[in-house]
Structure 1
Protein backbone atom coordinates (compact mmCIF):
# COMPACT_ATOMS: atom_id res chain seq x y z
CA UNK A 1 0.00 0.00 0.00
CA UNK A 2 1.22 3.49 -0.81
CA UNK A 3 0.26 6.88 0.56
CA UNK A 4 0.50 10.21 -1.22
CA UNK A 5 0.26 13.70 0.22
CA UNK A 6 -1.50 16.25 -1.96
CA UNK A 7 -1.65 19.96 -1.22
CA UNK A 8 -5.24 21.18 -1.07
CA UNK A 9 -5.35 24.92 -1.74
CA UNK A 10 -8.22 27.15 -0.65
CA UNK A 11 -9.27 30.18 -2.69
CA UNK A 12 -12.08 32.70 -2.72
CA UNK A 13 -13.28 32.65 -6.33
CA UNK A 14 -9.93 31.89 -8.03
CA UNK A 15 -9.78 28.07 -7.79
CA UNK A 16 -10.73 27.43 -11.44
CA UNK A 17 -8.14 29.90 -12.76
CA UNK A 18 -5.51 28.51 -10.38
CA UNK A 19 -6.19 24.91 -11.46
CA UNK A 20 -6.04 25.93 -15.12
CA UNK A 21 -2.69 27.62 -14.50
CA UNK A 22 -1.27 24.55 -12.70
CA UNK A 23 -2.56 22.35 -15.52
CA UNK A 24 -0.82 24.56 -18.10
CA UNK A 25 2.47 24.10 -16.25
CA UNK A 26 2.34 20.42 -15.21
CA UNK A 27 -0.08 18.87 -17.71
CA UNK A 28 -2.08 15.84 -16.70
CA UNK A 29 -5.82 15.76 -16.09
CA UNK A 30 -7.80 18.69 -14.73
CA UNK A 31 -11.08 17.98 -12.96
CA UNK A 32 -13.20 20.89 -11.74
CA UNK A 33 -16.58 20.27 -10.09
CA UNK A 34 -18.60 23.41 -9.44
CA UNK A 35 -21.07 23.89 -6.62
CA UNK A 36 -23.81 23.75 -9.30
CA UNK A 37 -22.42 20.47 -10.68
CA UNK A 38 -22.62 18.97 -7.17
CA UNK A 39 -26.07 20.42 -6.43
CA UNK A 40 -24.53 22.20 -3.43
CA UNK A 41 -25.22 25.86 -4.23
CA UNK A 42 -25.75 28.01 -1.13
CA UNK A 43 -25.31 31.36 -2.90
CA UNK A 44 -26.39 31.65 -6.56
CA UNK A 45 -23.50 34.07 -7.22
CA UNK A 46 -21.08 31.23 -6.35
CA UNK A 47 -22.74 28.46 -8.37
CA UNK A 48 -19.91 28.24 -10.94
CA UNK A 49 -17.16 28.32 -8.32
CA UNK A 50 -15.21 25.15 -7.58
CA UNK A 51 -16.38 22.79 -4.85
CA UNK A 52 -13.71 20.21 -5.69
CA UNK A 53 -10.89 20.42 -8.19
CA UNK A 54 -7.68 18.59 -8.95
CA UNK A 55 -4.80 18.47 -11.38
CA UNK A 56 -3.06 15.08 -11.55
CA UNK A 57 -0.26 14.09 -13.92
CA UNK A 58 1.24 10.72 -14.82
CA UNK A 59 4.58 12.08 -13.55
CA UNK A 60 3.16 12.27 -10.02
CA UNK A 61 2.18 15.93 -9.73
CA UNK A 62 -1.00 16.43 -7.71
CA UNK A 63 -2.76 19.51 -6.38
CA UNK A 64 -6.33 20.01 -5.22
CA UNK A 65 -8.24 23.28 -4.84
CA UNK A 66 -11.63 24.69 -4.00
CA UNK A 67 -13.38 28.01 -3.51
CA UNK A 68 -14.29 28.68 0.11
CA UNK A 69 -17.96 29.73 0.05
CA UNK A 70 -18.86 33.20 1.35
CA UNK A 71 -20.73 31.79 4.35
CA UNK A 72 -17.46 30.25 5.61
CA UNK A 73 -14.69 32.31 7.21
CA UNK A 74 -11.63 32.66 5.00
CA UNK A 75 -8.50 34.33 6.34
CA UNK A 76 -5.41 33.16 4.45
CA UNK A 77 -2.03 33.74 6.08
CA UNK A 78 0.76 35.87 4.68
CA UNK A 79 2.51 32.79 3.26
CA UNK A 80 0.50 29.92 4.76
CA UNK A 81 2.41 27.22 2.90
CA UNK A 82 4.91 26.46 0.19
CA UNK A 83 4.21 23.85 -2.46
CA UNK A 84 7.37 21.93 -3.23
CA UNK A 85 8.03 20.44 -6.68
CA UNK A 86 11.00 18.09 -6.44
CA UNK A 87 12.69 15.77 -8.92
CA UNK A 88 16.02 14.03 -9.27
CA UNK A 89 15.98 15.17 -12.92
CA UNK A 90 17.32 18.71 -13.46
CA UNK A 91 15.86 18.89 -16.98
CA UNK A 92 12.39 18.15 -15.60
CA UNK A 93 12.71 20.89 -12.96
CA UNK A 94 13.96 23.38 -15.56
CA UNK A 95 11.01 22.53 -17.84
CA UNK A 96 8.43 23.05 -15.09
CA UNK A 97 10.19 26.21 -13.86
CA UNK A 98 10.19 27.65 -17.37
CA UNK A 99 6.47 27.04 -17.79
CA UNK A 100 5.65 28.28 -14.29
CA UNK A 101 7.60 31.53 -14.66
CA UNK A 102 6.89 32.23 -18.34
CA UNK A 103 6.25 35.95 -18.61
CA UNK A 104 7.34 36.62 -15.02
CA UNK A 105 8.17 40.24 -14.52
CA UNK A 106 5.92 41.34 -17.39
CA UNK A 107 3.83 43.34 -14.93
CA UNK A 108 0.48 42.03 -16.18
CA UNK A 109 -0.52 40.67 -12.79
CA UNK A 110 -1.40 37.31 -14.38
CA UNK A 111 2.06 35.80 -14.26
CA UNK A 112 4.21 34.29 -11.54
CA UNK A 113 6.68 36.41 -9.60
CA UNK A 114 10.18 35.01 -9.20
CA UNK A 115 11.25 35.22 -5.55
CA UNK A 116 14.52 33.27 -5.91
CA UNK A 117 15.78 32.56 -9.45
CA UNK A 118 16.36 28.92 -10.35
CA UNK A 119 20.08 28.32 -9.78
CA UNK A 120 22.49 26.06 -7.91
CA UNK A 121 22.21 26.29 -4.11
CA UNK A 122 24.38 24.96 -1.29
CA UNK A 123 21.85 22.17 -0.66
CA UNK A 124 20.66 21.38 -4.19
CA UNK A 125 21.98 21.41 -7.76
CA UNK A 126 18.99 23.65 -8.64
CA UNK A 127 16.64 25.61 -6.39
CA UNK A 128 14.13 28.36 -7.16
CA UNK A 129 11.08 29.97 -5.59
CA UNK A 130 8.19 31.75 -7.31
CA UNK A 131 4.77 33.00 -6.27
CA UNK A 132 1.97 32.18 -8.70
CA UNK A 133 -0.68 34.70 -9.81
CA UNK A 134 -2.96 33.45 -7.00
CA UNK A 135 -0.57 34.15 -4.11
CA UNK A 136 0.72 30.60 -3.60
CA UNK A 137 4.51 30.30 -3.25
CA UNK A 138 6.14 27.32 -4.97
CA UNK A 139 9.62 25.85 -4.56
CA UNK A 140 11.28 23.96 -7.41
CA UNK A 141 14.40 21.94 -6.66
CA UNK A 142 16.52 18.99 -7.67
CA UNK A 143 16.40 16.46 -4.87
CA UNK A 144 19.62 14.94 -3.61
CA UNK A 145 20.18 12.51 -0.73
CA UNK A 146 20.71 14.28 2.58
CA UNK A 147 24.06 13.40 4.12
CA UNK A 148 23.36 15.04 7.49
Structure 2
Protein backbone atom coordinates (compact mmCIF):
# COMPACT_ATOMS: atom_id res chain seq x y z
CA UNK A 1 0.00 0.00 0.00
CA UNK A 2 1.40 3.38 -1.01
CA UNK A 3 1.34 6.20 1.53
CA UNK A 4 -0.38 9.23 -0.05
CA UNK A 5 0.27 11.41 2.98
CA UNK A 6 2.86 14.18 2.63
CA UNK A 7 4.71 15.95 5.43
CA UNK A 8 3.95 19.64 5.22
CA UNK A 9 3.66 22.90 7.09
CA UNK A 10 0.50 25.02 7.06
CA UNK A 11 1.36 28.68 7.57
CA UNK A 12 -1.24 30.99 9.10
CA UNK A 13 -2.37 32.45 5.74
CA UNK A 14 -3.05 28.86 4.56
CA UNK A 15 -5.51 28.22 7.42
CA UNK A 16 -8.76 30.07 6.62
CA UNK A 17 -11.23 30.99 9.35
CA UNK A 18 -14.66 29.40 8.90
CA UNK A 19 -17.58 31.55 10.09
CA UNK A 20 -19.68 29.30 12.33
CA UNK A 21 -22.26 31.96 13.19
CA UNK A 22 -22.59 34.61 15.91
CA UNK A 23 -18.86 35.47 15.88
CA UNK A 24 -17.62 31.90 16.37
CA UNK A 25 -14.77 30.96 14.01
CA UNK A 26 -12.97 27.69 13.37
CA UNK A 27 -9.62 27.04 11.69
CA UNK A 28 -9.05 23.54 10.32
CA UNK A 29 -5.49 22.26 10.60
CA UNK A 30 -5.74 18.68 9.30
CA UNK A 31 -8.44 16.17 8.39
CA UNK A 32 -8.96 13.36 5.90
CA UNK A 33 -9.83 15.86 3.17
CA UNK A 34 -7.01 18.29 3.90
CA UNK A 35 -4.03 16.04 4.75
CA UNK A 36 -5.26 12.45 4.39
CA UNK A 37 -5.07 12.39 8.21
CA UNK A 38 -6.94 9.87 10.34
CA UNK A 39 -7.61 12.62 12.90
CA UNK A 40 -9.13 16.09 12.60
CA UNK A 41 -7.45 19.02 14.34
CA UNK A 42 -7.83 22.78 14.52
CA UNK A 43 -8.96 25.65 16.71
CA UNK A 44 -12.24 27.34 17.51
CA UNK A 45 -12.58 30.85 18.94
CA UNK A 46 -15.63 31.70 21.08
CA UNK A 47 -16.22 35.43 21.64
CA UNK A 48 -17.09 36.65 25.15
CA UNK A 49 -20.50 35.38 26.24
CA UNK A 50 -20.88 32.98 23.30
CA UNK A 51 -21.57 29.26 23.25
CA UNK A 52 -22.00 26.46 20.76
CA UNK A 53 -25.21 24.47 20.37
CA UNK A 54 -25.60 21.18 22.25
CA UNK A 55 -24.36 18.46 19.92
CA UNK A 56 -22.57 15.12 19.65
CA UNK A 57 -19.98 13.65 17.25
CA UNK A 58 -19.35 10.38 15.45
CA UNK A 59 -16.00 10.03 17.24
CA UNK A 60 -14.17 10.86 20.48
CA UNK A 61 -13.13 14.50 20.93
CA UNK A 62 -10.52 16.27 23.02
CA UNK A 63 -10.68 20.02 23.62
CA UNK A 64 -7.66 21.87 25.02
CA UNK A 65 -8.39 25.40 26.19
CA UNK A 66 -5.45 27.53 25.04
CA UNK A 67 -6.78 30.94 26.15
CA UNK A 68 -9.73 32.16 28.19
CA UNK A 69 -12.20 30.60 30.60
CA UNK A 70 -14.80 28.13 29.41
CA UNK A 71 -17.36 25.72 30.76
CA UNK A 72 -17.95 22.33 29.17
CA UNK A 73 -21.56 21.21 29.46
CA UNK A 74 -22.36 17.49 29.41
CA UNK A 75 -24.34 14.96 31.46
CA UNK A 76 -26.58 17.74 32.81
CA UNK A 77 -23.78 19.77 34.43
CA UNK A 78 -21.33 22.53 33.53
CA UNK A 79 -17.63 22.01 34.27
CA UNK A 80 -15.01 24.82 34.36
CA UNK A 81 -12.10 24.45 31.93
CA UNK A 82 -9.21 26.92 31.79
CA UNK A 83 -5.95 27.35 29.90
CA UNK A 84 -4.01 24.15 29.27
CA UNK A 85 -6.83 22.03 30.69
CA UNK A 86 -8.42 19.27 28.62
CA UNK A 87 -12.00 18.10 28.17
CA UNK A 88 -12.46 14.56 26.83
CA UNK A 89 -15.85 13.94 25.21
CA UNK A 90 -16.59 10.34 24.16
CA UNK A 91 -18.30 9.61 20.84
CA UNK A 92 -22.06 10.21 21.02
CA UNK A 93 -21.96 12.34 24.20
CA UNK A 94 -24.16 15.42 23.91
CA UNK A 95 -22.12 18.47 24.95
CA UNK A 96 -21.24 22.10 24.29
CA UNK A 97 -18.80 24.79 25.40
CA UNK A 98 -19.55 28.25 26.83
CA UNK A 99 -17.24 31.26 27.11
CA UNK A 100 -17.75 32.40 30.72
CA UNK A 101 -14.77 34.76 30.93
CA UNK A 102 -13.93 38.32 29.97
CA UNK A 103 -11.81 37.47 26.91
CA UNK A 104 -12.27 35.22 23.86
CA UNK A 105 -11.79 31.49 24.38
CA UNK A 106 -9.33 29.82 22.02
CA UNK A 107 -9.68 26.06 22.05
CA UNK A 108 -7.85 23.37 20.12
CA UNK A 109 -9.85 20.33 19.05
CA UNK A 110 -8.64 16.84 18.27
CA UNK A 111 -11.20 14.42 16.83
CA UNK A 112 -10.42 10.71 16.60
CA UNK A 113 -11.56 10.61 12.96
CA UNK A 114 -10.47 12.16 9.70
CA UNK A 115 -14.15 12.64 8.72
CA UNK A 116 -16.18 14.20 11.55
CA UNK A 117 -19.92 14.74 11.79
CA UNK A 118 -21.93 16.83 14.26
CA UNK A 119 -25.47 15.93 15.34
CA UNK A 120 -27.43 18.81 16.85
CA UNK A 121 -29.30 17.76 20.00
CA UNK A 122 -32.22 20.15 19.43
CA UNK A 123 -33.09 18.87 15.94
CA UNK A 124 -31.32 15.52 15.49
CA UNK A 125 -29.82 16.86 12.23
CA UNK A 126 -26.39 15.44 11.38
CA UNK A 127 -24.00 17.57 9.31
CA UNK A 128 -20.43 17.24 8.12
CA UNK A 129 -17.85 19.11 10.20
CA UNK A 130 -17.34 22.64 8.85
CA UNK A 131 -20.00 22.28 6.16
CA UNK A 132 -22.23 25.31 5.54
CA UNK A 133 -24.80 23.78 7.94
CA UNK A 134 -22.29 23.27 10.78
CA UNK A 135 -23.16 26.38 12.78
CA UNK A 136 -22.12 26.99 16.38
CA UNK A 137 -25.16 29.27 16.60
CA UNK A 138 -27.45 30.73 13.95
CA UNK A 139 -25.77 33.60 12.13
CA UNK A 140 -26.63 36.99 13.71
TM-score by length of 1: 0.26
Whichever structure has more helix as a proportion of its residues is 1
Whichever structure has more strand as a proportion of its residues is 2
Higher relative contact order (CA 8 A, sep 6+): 2
